[in-house]
Amino acid sequence: MVTTVIGLMFRKKSSLVSNKVNTSENFESLESMILQEEVKFTFAEVVKDVDDFHDKYCIGTGGFGRVYKAELQSGQVVAVKRLNMSDSNDIPAINLHSFQNEIRTLTSIRHRNIIRLYGFCSRKGGCISLLYEYIERGSLGKALYGVEGVNELGWATRVKIVQGLAHALSYLHHDCSPPIVHRDITVNNVLLESDFEVRLSDFGIARLLSTDSSNWTDIAGSFGYIAPELAYTMRVTNKCDVYSFGVVALEVMMGRHPGDILESQLQESSKSRRDKVELLMKDLLDQRLEPPTNESAKAVVLVVTMALACIRTRPASRPTMLFMAQKLSAQTLPCLPEPFALSRSHLQQRPQQQQQDQAGDQTLQSRPPNQISNIIINVSLTASLSDPAVQQGRRLTNCKTTINTLKNSSK
């Protein structure tokens, strides 16, 4: 009977397949299932190739389980995520919930910056596994903190990584119906192809949001990346992902986790809204690299500035991922509220204003390499943002604060 059901479901679309695993009864009765029709191998082959999940084939641990690399006889390489199991014969409820979320989410997603799910396998009292495409370079965290991290991850590559992650999240938030919140964005859940193209992974705790409400749930995510409001509101929105994105973007540019900045932000948020913090750009850049120059400098300043907008304590003051993806791709410096407006804005301008903007561009481009880090940012951590305006892509007019170049590094 199970074989017949599986045979029929092989012919259905993946979205229909995912609906069949919504109940524990259906889920636990399945021995295995391949979701993608073009996949020509079985899970038995995969399990054999990893020697029944021997430790020597393990390439990572995260979320609710371990990840194994399987090299099939056909030459194809796949990754298998095996969810953690309890000592009993019952599937742990939290893992089952995670597994079903990941299946339901990934089978409906098609985006170049999001990892692809080939299939899954489950057996009552046995293993629960997800079968993914294999991403060659592994995690962003591995690349960023590895021995070759400095040599491989130049400024242009880091900007590309942040752009790819922004596009992945913009797709989840604005192109999926209902919108999808990832909830666990870290450097270890961002994978890199051989050409450093981003693939966002690990949807074990993803949430599907209805268009007119938020899900109320327990806190899930990784320490150091969780939006501060979750600690007291327990309310999940796409702005939680925006915060985590900002943390990752800063981590990529700084070469370390920006924990000190996040801590100072929380401290300042309890003070007057007029209080500001001055951040020197050179303190927000990876000290292992030479300062960026010319076009790279412009892109780096843009990424850092936009990332700071994402980690604001008030969710409503953060931009949307659609806004972020558009501006990062265009590599334009949008007019954000204090303190995220640079010395030039992109409002509808008069000729004189355009000339001033061009002069500002030339100043930034021609700045000596050792001067690009001498930029100071006045950060108002609690200024509000008109979120509907951001969602519609409208440029804001209340730009008052600028980023000023210091005359010398000792000032």
Domains of the chain, start order: 2-133 (3.30.200.20), 140-405 (1.10.510.10)
Distances (CA, A) of 407 to 339, 371, 374, 376: 20, 9, 8, 11
Tokens of 118: 């080939």
Strands in 37-158 per DSSP E: 58-62, 65-71, 77-83, 117-122, 128-133
Annotated binding-site residues read 81
pLDDT at site 127 = 65
Annotated binding site for ATP: 81
* Phi-psi label, residue 166: left if phi above 0, alpha if psi -120 to 50, beta otherwise: alpha
DSSP 114: B
Which residues are 243's β-sheet partners? Answer: none
Which is the catalytic residue, given 52, 90, 175, 184? 184
* Residue 87 is among the residues annotated as catalytic for this protein: no
Residue count of the chain: 411
| Pair of tokens at residue 134 | 């294999």
Which mean pLDDT values do the consecutive 10-residue runs of the chain (411 residues) have?
40 37 42 61 75 79 77 83 58 60 73 87 69 89 86 93 97 90 91 95 64 51 85 85 97 94 73 60 89 87 93 93 94 50 31 37 37 51 36 29 29 36
Model confidence, pTM:
0.71
